[in-house]
């Protein structure tokens, strides 16, 4: 089956009823969508399907054949963040990061579809996403900053100066 | 966990209503897949390994058709689209889960929703019953159209839901036990509508599917006040304990909610939708 992710077409082998989440992570090595609950209740697996936020754990592969899938890997690069990513960075809207991909994509869809969203609409758009670290305040602040165009990518770029990484634990992914 | 692999499932994706009906046949040994918001977790966790799956994505049974005050709503219509349907259906649709789930979950899946861990999860059933909606299904013996409450009490097995028809009511009322998180399932809800056959009332959360409460309707028709009529709800439903609430709590809250829904209806009567 053919699957288009972040503009690249892939031939995938997984069963037609495997979840899109499984295919993205296990077959295509795209690990920004997280397998939080795999039953629709947490939002960490959210991707964009033709621009709309969807739970990739609830989508059978066969249902998205021919659709354009976007994951965080397709949003921006480390030295060229998308406006939503830049806002999350600037507002410290991620702690452990497990929920962040889902929030970024839900926020991106909101930015593209209703940039004039009110506070209530922002909360509604994010309501299916669970964060166990931040208390949500900084996430909401970041999404609203992006909606209002109040991001300063130059400050973000500076924080992405390549650093020497020290591998402390042998075999760790650092 | 069953031993059959996901690979072994034969997937059928009909591209018309007629092909879907033919592929469904009498429904034996077949799993219907609509939005998948209930079925996919079953597949993800290996609790379900179907032999044959009929996916309705391309079957042409989605969308709302309006003719005057009549609406025909296809089984594959996403819950999100029902947010613009007549009340009390719109309010119930808006309170289903979150934006992403509502865009994927369907009307047909909601009518056929099996309780999850004993928790009922078909929040659109009560508003449809209150509206006097009729559901058209296919299966053994051909197509039939029947009131939603009859469809639900027969159990959804063996039927392919095609569409639901309803008339815009002259007024509507809705009351629910609100829960703080969008993924909290409904503990209890009551719906009322002023239809061409009088006021119809239904409740969610007092059994595995929604129930029409005739005793309340009859008391109202006999001239009882909304508060007095609402007390009759326990003649038609026997609430049970489940993971969300106790039978004790439900017995006390049901008359209150039915009373509120009737009050809501009386405030809005005459204002269509
Ligand atoms: C996080 C989360 C929160 C939720 N919150 C709510 C909520 O607040 N309220 C609520 O009511 N529900 C809720 N649900 C449950 C579910 O999303 C809805 O009931 C939904 O409408 C089911 O539709 P579906 O198309 O996704 O069903 P599917 O998963 O595709 O199917 C569900 C069942 O119906 C059968 N079926 C589907 N369509 C047909 C058809 N046309 N003919 C015959 N059989 C059919 C399937 O075989 C299956 O048994 C929630 C689910 C999740 C994951
Ligand atoms: S993993 Fe998909 S919603 Fe939790
Ligand atoms: S940052 Fe840890 S769950 Fe949200």
List the domain boundaries for chain B: 2-55, 64-267
Predicted local confidence at residue B272, as pLDDT: 44
Q: Which residue of A has its CA nearest to B36?
A: A58
Q: Exposure pattern of B226-248 as b/e (b: 16+ CB <10 Å)? A: beebbbbbbebbebeebebbeee
Which residue minimizes the CA distance to atom 3 of ligand 2?
A: A40
Chain B positions contacting chain A at CB under 8 Å are 5-7, 9, 11, 13, 33, 35-37, 40-41, 43-45, 53, 55, 57, 97-101, 103-104, 181-183
Ligand that comes closest to the CA of residue A33: 2
Instruction: Give chain A's contact residues with B (Cβ, < 8 Å).
Output: 15-19, 22, 38-41, 43, 46, 52-55, 57-60, 62-63, 106, 124-125, 127-128
Q: Compute the C-alpha angle A82/A83/A88, nearest 5°.
A: 100
- Ligand 3 pocket (Cβ < 6 Å) reads A 94-100, 131-134
Going by CA atoms, what residue is nearest to atom 5 of ligand 1?
A: B97
- Band (pLDDT 50/70/90 cuts) for residue A4 is very high
Over pLDDT 90: what percentage of chain B?
Answer: 82
Q: Parallel, antiparallel, or unpaired: how do β-strands A68-70 and A2-5 relate?
A: parallel
Of A18, A52, A60, the CB nearest to B103: A52
pLDDT confidence tier of residue A160, bands split at 50, 70 and 90: low
Domain A83-155 in CATH 1.10.274.30? The answer is no
Output the pTM of the full model. 0.93
CATH topology of domain A2-74: Ubiquitin-like (UB roll) (3.10.20)
Average pLDDT over residues A124-139: 96
DSSP-derived pairing of the beta strands B159-167 and B134-139? antiparallel
CATH 3.10.20.30 segments of chain A? 2-74
Least confident of A48-57, B70-79, B176-185, B212-221: B176-185
Q: Residue B49: closest CA among chain A residues belongs to which residue?
A: A17
pLDDT of residue B242: 85
Q: What percent of chain A has pLDDT over 70?
A: 87
Report helix, strand or coil for B273. Answer: coil
Angle at B200 between CA B213 and CA B112, to 5 degrees: 70
In chain A, ranges of CATH 1.10.150.120 domains: 83-155
Rounded CA separation A120/A139 (Å): 14
- The pLDDT, as a whole number, for residue B181 is 75
Residue B164 has pLDDT above 50, yes or no: yes
Q: Tell me, what's the pLDDT at B156? A: 76
Arithmetic mean of pLDDT over chain B: 93
B213 Cβ neighbours under 8 A, 6+ residues apart = B201, B202, B203, B232, B233, B236, B237, B258
- Mean pLDDT within A81-85: 96
What average pLDDT score do residues B77-82 get?
98
Band of residue A152 on the pLDDT scale cut at 50, 70, 90: confident
Whether domain B2-55 has CATH 3.30.70.260: the reply is no
> CA-CA distances (angstroms) from residue B2 to A20, B6, B31, B43, B139?
22, 10, 15, 11, 27
Given a cut of 50, whether residue B268 has pLDDT beyond it is yes
Above 70 in pLDDT, residue A35? yes
Radius of gyration of chain A from its Cα atoms, rounded to whole angstroms = 16
> Residue B99 and residue A40: Cβ atoms within 8 Å?
no
Q: What pLDDT is attached to residue B185?
A: 82
Q: Is the pLDDT of residue B267 over 60?
A: yes
Please tell me what DSSP assigns to residue A73.
Answer: G
Which of B14, B31, B34, B107 for mutating ligand 1's site (highest number of atoms within 8 Å of CB)? B34
State how far the alpha carbon of B164 is from the alpha carbons of A57, B77, B148, B204, in Å. 29, 10, 8, 19
Average of per-residue pLDDT values in chain A: 91
Q: Is B118 left (phi over 0), alpha (psi -120 to 50) or beta?
A: left
Segment A148-158 mean pLDDT: 75
Average pLDDT over residues B243-257: 94
Q: From the list B53, B100, B182, which residue is nearest A17 (CB)?
A: B53
Q: What average pLDDT score do residues A70-92 get?
A: 95
What is residue B155's predicted lDDT score, i.e. its pLDDT? 84
Question: Which CATH number is associated with domain B64-267?
Answer: 3.30.465.10
Q: Which of B6, B13, B98 sits opposite A15 (nearest CB)?
A: B6
Nearest to A124 among B99, B103, B104 (CB): B99
A106/B100 CB distance under 8 A: yes
**Does position B260 have pLDDT exceeding 60, yes or no?**
yes
Task: Kindly provide the residue ranges of all beta strands, DSSP E only, lying in chain B, ordered along the sequence.
Answer: 10-12, 31-33, 52-55, 64-67, 70-74, 134-139, 144-147, 159-167, 171-176, 189-195, 198-204, 211-212
Task: Report pLDDT for A78.
Answer: 85
């Amino acid at each position: 089956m053919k699957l288009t992710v972040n503009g690249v077409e892939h031939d995938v082998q997984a069963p037609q009823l495997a979840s899109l989440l499984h295919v993205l992570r296990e077959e295509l090595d795209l690990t920004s969508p997280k397998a939080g609950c795999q039953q629709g209740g947490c939002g960490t697996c959210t991707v964009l399907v033709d621009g709309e936020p969807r739970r990739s754990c609830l989508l059978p592969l066969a249902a998205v054949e021919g659709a354009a899938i976007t994951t965080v890997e397709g949003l921006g690069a480390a030295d060229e963040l998308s406006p939503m990513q830049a806002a999350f960075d600037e507002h410290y809207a991620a702690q452990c990061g497990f929920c962040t991909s889902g929030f970024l994509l839900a926020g991106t869809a909101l930015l593209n579809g209703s940039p004039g969203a009110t506070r209530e609409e922002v909360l509604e758009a994010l309501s299916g996403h669970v964060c166990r670290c931040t208390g949500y305040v900084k996430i909401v602040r970041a999404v609203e900053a992006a909606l209002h165009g109040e991001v300063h990518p130059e400050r973000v770029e500076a924080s992405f100066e390549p650093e020497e990484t020290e591998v402390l634990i042998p075999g760790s992914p650092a | 966990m069953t031993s059959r692999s996901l690979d072994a499932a034969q997937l059928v994706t009909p591209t018309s209503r007629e092909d879907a009906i033919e592929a469904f046949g009498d429904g034996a040994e077949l799993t219907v897949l609509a939005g998948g918001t209930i079925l996919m977790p079953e597949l993800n966790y290996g609790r379900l390994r179907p032999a044959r799956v009929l996916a309705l994505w391309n079957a042409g049974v989605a969308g709302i058709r309006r003719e005057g005050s009549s609406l025909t709503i296809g089984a594959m219509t996403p819950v999100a689209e029902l947010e613009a349907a007549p009340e009390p259906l719109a309010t119930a649709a808006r309170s289903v889960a979150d934006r992403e789930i509502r865009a994927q979950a369907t009307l047909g899946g909601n009518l056929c929703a099996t309780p999850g861990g004993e928790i009922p999860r078909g929040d659109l059933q009560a508003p449809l019953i209150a509206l006097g909606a009729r559901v058209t299904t296919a299966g053994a013996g051909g197509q039939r159209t029947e009131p939603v409450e009859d469809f639900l009490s027969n159990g959804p097995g063996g039927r392919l839901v095609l569409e639901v028809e309803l008339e815009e009511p002259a007024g509507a009322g809705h009351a629910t036990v609100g829960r703080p998180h969008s993924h909290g399932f409904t503990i209890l809800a009551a719906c009322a509508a002023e239809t061409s056959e009088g006021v119809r009332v239904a409740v969610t959360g007092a059994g595995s599917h929604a129930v029409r409460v005739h005793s309340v309707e009859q008391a109202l028709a006999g001239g009882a006040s909304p508060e007095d009529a609402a007390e009759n709800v326990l003649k038609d439903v026997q609430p049970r304990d489940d993971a969300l609430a106790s039978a004790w709590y439900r017995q006390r809250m049901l008359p209150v909610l039915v009373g509120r829904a009737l009050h809501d209806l009386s405030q809005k009567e005459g204002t269509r939708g």
